[in-house]
Structures are given as C-alpha cells and as structure tokens.
Amino acid sequence: MSQEAIERYVAALTKGKGLHDDFIYSMTFDEYKTFPDPYPRTTFKVTETEARISRYSNPGKPGELFEWDIHGRFFTLAKLSIPGIAVVMVPGGVVNEYEFIFTPDGPEKYLDLTKTSPTESRVGVAQHMASLGIPVLAISLPGHYSRSPWPPIPDRRPEFIIGEIPSDEELKNRLAVYTFRMCVEAIKVLITSTLPYDSHPYLREGMSVEVVRGPLEGLRGVLLRKDKRHRLVISVHLIQQAASVEIDAGDVVSV
C-alpha cells in the first residue's frame, strides 16, 4: 500500500476527510489487497453451535409454544490479538452464516491464512477476522440453516427446527409470528451459551466481596475462583469455621 493511500486512510479516520455520507470510506481494490494486517495471522478451529428457544403459542398444539432453532459457527483461535473481544456476525435477508465464511468465487473450505496468501485466498470475512486473532461467531437465524442441501427455491421450506420440514399449516402459523423480537432473543441465547465472556470482569480472584442479596446477604468473604458461567466460589467464616460457598456472580459486590 502506497504512503499516499495510507495517509488518505488515516486522514479519514482521524479527521473525517474523504468520507461519503459522513461515515463511508472507499478505497480501490488494489489498495484493499495491499492493506497491511493490523495483527499477525494465526490459525483457527471452527465448531458448530446451536440453541433452541420457545416463543409464541402453537395453534396446532394448544398449550404448547413454538420452538425455534438458531445455528452458528464459532471460530476459536491459536492466539488472541485482543483479549476480551469477539465479533458476532448476523446476516440480513434470506442468507445465513455461510455468507460470512465463504465467497461466491472462492473455495468452500477453511484455509490456513498463515500459509495461504490472504489477498489471493478468496475466503469470507469471518475467516479473515479469525485469522487475525479475533474470535468470530457467524450466525444463521431460525429457519435459515439446514444440514441438507437446499432444494430449488420453489420447493424450499425453512427448517425452524433443524432437520424438520413444516407442513403448510405450520409454515403459515410460524410466519405469522416470525418477529424481530424472537430473532433477537434467539441470538442472545446463542451468544450467551457460546462465547466465553465474563459478565463480571471487575471481580477478580483474591478480592474481598460482600453478598448483597439472597439468604447470605451481608456476609463477607474472599473470592476463591470464578467457576461455572455466572457463578463464583467464595470463602466465608460461619460460626467460627471457614467454609466455601457457590453463589451467583450478580449477588456480590467488591468491598
């Protein structure tokens, strides 16, 4: 990338020069291909992940709720570039996670971009970001993923439960309640169950803490470790004896 192109890019970031519509910056394809990597390339592994939520009454089964599956692929890394950061990619329209992973004219495979030229690989943006040391979760919304090859569009039906084809009546009823709110709820559940995030990063092992709600409210102790997701193990003194208790992370504060 030429020095002139670098200076234009920096000016756009720092001073807003050369932006379209106040926030879009354009560069030539040659500039894009020679843009320097911000972090060293690393290898990654990909695992499938999915979750299921229940939302909205099912007219075909009175007293039951519709169930909805959401699917994704999680890229885990050999080396992190930015600890505590992950990128979640959610498609719009009728596409799914593959739109982020592969490209129309590229190979439908995962490439090692430490050995393959990133500019010539033609892989999707999810693979590029993961190879730069940033964990990526690429998501398919409910009904947008199938483990079987998609049939021609006139015969295609969304698998709201992965592996199950809805009847005409079920399809009509589901589409009547397929809402943005349901999709957001499903995304939240998948993120929470997949990403190894710390909901209370300010609580550290060895820190003095106090229980602020629940049956142990007012009790003080020392945080021994962060155990299961959203759970802490703390050491406390009860009746002149030391004991360890497991408690919700949201029920304690540092003191």
What is the per-residue burial (b if ≥16 Cβ within 10 Å, else e) of 174-196? beeebeeebbebbbebbbeebee
Q: What CATH topology corresponds to 208-254?
A: SH3 type barrels. (2.30.30)
Instruction: Give the model's pLDDT for residue 106.
Output: 92
Q: What is the pLDDT of residues 60-81, one digit of tens each?
A: 999 999 999 999 999 999 999 9
The phi and psi torsions of 7 (rounded to 5 degrees) equal -65, -35
Q: What is the pLDDT of residues 81-110, one digit of tens each?
A: 988 789 999 998 889 999 999 999 999 999
Supply angle C-alpha 141, 172, 193, rounded to 5.
25
Which of the residues in the chain have pLDDT under 70? Answer: 1, 197-202, 227-234, 237-242
Nearest to 69 by CA among 55, 88, 50: 50
- Within the chain, all domains assigned CATH 2.30.30.30 are found at 208-254
Question: Could you give the CA distance from residue 103 to residue 212 in angstroms, rounded to a whole number?
Answer: 51
Instruction: Give the model's pLDDT for residue 94.
Output: 81
Amino acid (1-letter code) at residue 162: I
